[in-house]
Structure 1
Amino acid sequence: MPELYVGERHWSVPTGSNLLDALNQAGTAVPYSCRAGSCHACLVRCRGEVADRQPDALSPAQRQAGWRLACQCQVTGDVQVEAFDPLRDGVSAHVTSADWLSASVLRLRLAPERGLRYRAGQHVVLWAGQVARPYSLASLPQEDGFLEFHLDCRQPGQFSDAARHLVVGDRLRLGELRGGALHYDSDWQARPLWLLASGTGLGPLWGVLREALRQDHQGSIRVIHLAHDAEGHYLAEPLAALAASHPNLAVELWTAAELGQALAQLRVVSRQTLALLCGHPASVEAFSKRLFLAGLPRNQLLADVFLPRG
């Protein structure tokens, strides 16, 4: 059987074992979130024989350096593994503010110790000690002097539980910065732009919206936010302020009880429309199906799904 080597430890595992499971079952704590190759929380450096189910999930430079996503790798031979160390491999950042936008949404703003190149909608893995979770950026590099994240704290979770106790000055580590499906392209300026979000999926789209307005988007912009109830529309006031000052921007706030009727009335007026979707898988799927039935070509829809742990 293949041997796994971590530091001075080594042990045998069955051929074909999932690398993430083999490491965690043996007491080598490797964080994870989605197990689908999307969040990148389970990043490890490997030397040896593994079969990677998603070789394109990482950049060529990362793969050349030996980085792999443990959840996507099967052990096929002896492997030496070095886990991502946030103290060694991450970037230090301190909390500049941690305030509640609603009863369940925590807005976290961080100042990294060095500048990061990013664009609205990208993801960053946040580390609180040895607990890691990927979050989407709601800030703009051109305008904001911080990294902003909107954390859904309705359900218990290792990271969200730790985040509840953060105060100004506390330090976190930033792991990998990755692309994400959502962005604003200056070539879209004249086209209708729809931004559809559920829950804190509004966070990255808040950044994308402000980037579109910063670039003086000329087409119409329609923002739809789906929440469990009216209290869940945690950016209602700033969205209304933007709509008041931008005639081409319309904002709609939907609740779960209204979803079926609201979707049935959704119409795509222009086949040039571009739609960006973000949030819970069920909500993104409901939005996607309705837009497709309404005539929106699939290649004009970009979606970023917030996968629950496991």
Structure 2
Amino acid sequence: MALINIPGTDLYPSTICLGTGEFGTSLDRESSFRILDAYVECGGNFIDTAHVYGDWVPGERGLSEKTIGAWIQSRKNRDQIILATKGGHWDLQAPHVSRVTPKEIVKDLDESLQFLQTDIIDLYWLHRDDPDVPYEAIIETLNAQREAGKLRWFGASNWRTPRLRAANAYAKSHGLQGFVADQVLWNAAVLAKYPYGDPTVGWMDEERFFFHEETGMAAVPFQSQAYGLFHRMANGTLHEMNPGFLSFYRLPETSRRFHRMQRLAQETGLTITQIVLGYLRGQPFPTIPIVGCRSVAQVRDSMTAADIALTADQILFIAHG
């Protein structure tokens, strides 16, 4: 499988990242281990989780991280994995109460290291932002944790573009490490409204796209397959899709994109999976889609797109016809 460099780092992840939001909850440990094994067998090495994943189970903390930590220990493959996790998300029992402070960042990072049974995180994401917390303090905190050997590199998830730009400018001017990647909601569909009804979620808009073009910063999109939207359109099961997720997208415009995907599939022999993920892989800056798989079959299907990147003309055709 092809690897891709995250600019400014020594990280060379696989071109498809495995998301693990349901590991340890709706996917039990045995199922999660099978998916992780299949991903590695297909050449994958980039695993993404978050400290908050699984906290919706009463009385539990970090179930996804704990599942991945147990898998890594059982397979003895820590040195073969680029391990990413996220911290700084609000407590699920107190939505939107900010936890993006130096104290909470360090607390989450320390707990993630414990749950993942590792000494260092390869790529540590801040899961959320709080504009009321000076980015200077955040950058300095993350650099201190890097100096302490707890993380190698760090990125931002759900940060607004102006804050991301300002934080990195501060880091550069003070000889500090800045954010090296941006985890953001992005896929080939068209958003109809704020995803999850939450304006604090970050998604790929025009301003962010130009920022990535200008800086070359890597994008690591979540919901890269739009909850299976295009697959359901292809197999006639759109009516079975979660109505809330379906409502994220403008169906007339998204449907037109799907029909152009079908035409492209006929012309190229590519599958819908390869087109959906190749749409992201072919962007003019490094883009590593995160796939959330619930079965070994879905892992293997997603990984067929690892070496597929659509051309600029093909991307333009899907987006505009």
Shared topology, TM-score over 0.5? Answer: no
Q: From the two aligned structures, give the one with the greater strand fraction.
A: 1
Higher relative CO (CA 8 A, sep ≥ 6), structure 1 or 2?
Answer: 2
Larger radius of gyration: 1
Task: Provide the TM-score with structure 1 as the length reference.
Answer: 0.25
